[in-house]
Structure 1
């Protein structure tokens, strides 16, 4: 997992060939005003704009998840937004089977830690990062960029 500010995004371009394309899209478009929903940015890159009321920690961890085929770049646009996290190798209580169609696996495990993103900060969550988000008060707004591995 990586946590940083958008101004430092170029430091991570070398980690995946599509990271530069993802952050170029963010910098060249008004992502704050995108309607909720998904946009195909390029081959292997999908942006999902999300807004909604923040959840409690207890409610949010019901969606404790990870992905096998995608890396998430989650960017906070209106927050602050709290995330829960735990390394996948420490998760031992699956919540159902892996969904290949949705590329998601859920867990009943308790998070190891919580962290908070402020506006214009991001988290890069790799397949080994079990996570949940949208924890907070009031209206939260974000984009999630799915980067195909």
Structure 2
């Protein structure tokens, strides 16, 4: 997992061939309020917008998730968003089967820690990062970029 501000994103572009495309999209798009759903797609990169009421911690932990085929870059447009996190290797209680079509696997485990993103910050979540996003007491406005592994 990597947490940083968009102004420092260039430091991470060498980590994956599609990261530059993803960060260029975030740097060049004027985000005020995003539309929900698919916003952008190019080879190996898809960006989705989320706008609406956030979740409580308990609601978010129902979708404590990770991905096998994609790396998430989650970008905070609003004032803040909290996440739960735990290393995948320490998760022992699956919550259903892996969904290949949606590339998502859920766990019933509790996070080891919580962290908060603020406006113009991002988190890069690799397949080994189990995460519970969208925790906020206000309106959530964010972009999630799926980068093929």
TM-score normalised by the shorter chain: which range applies? over 0.9
Aligned equivalents of 1:140, 1:79: Cα separation in 2: 8
SS of 1:115's equivalent in the other structure is strand
Aligned equivalents of 2:97, 2:79: Cα separation in 1: 32
User: 1:7 — aligned with what?
Assistant: 7
SS of 2:32's equivalent in the other structure is helix
Corresponding position: 1:94 with 2:97 = no
User: 1:38 — aligned with what?
Assistant: 38
User: 2:123 — aligned with what?
Assistant: 123
Aligned equivalents of 1:136, 1:35: Cα separation in 2: 19
Aligned equivalents of 2:82, 2:63: Cα separation in 1: 14
Aligned equivalents of 1:145, 1:57: Cα separation in 2: 22
User: 1:23 — aligned with what?
Assistant: 23
Aligned equivalents of 2:40, 2:103: Cα separation in 1: 17
Residue segments in structure 2 that go unaligned for 5+ positions in a row = none
Aligned equivalents of 2:89, 2:56: Cα separation in 1: 25
1:138 deviation in Å? 1.2
Residue segments in structure 1 that go unaligned for 5+ positions in a row = none
| Alignment RMSD | 1.0
C-alpha contact (below 8 Å) 2:33/2:141 kept by paired residues: no
Aligned equivalents of 2:33, 2:59: Cα separation in 1: 27
Residue-pair matches, total: 149
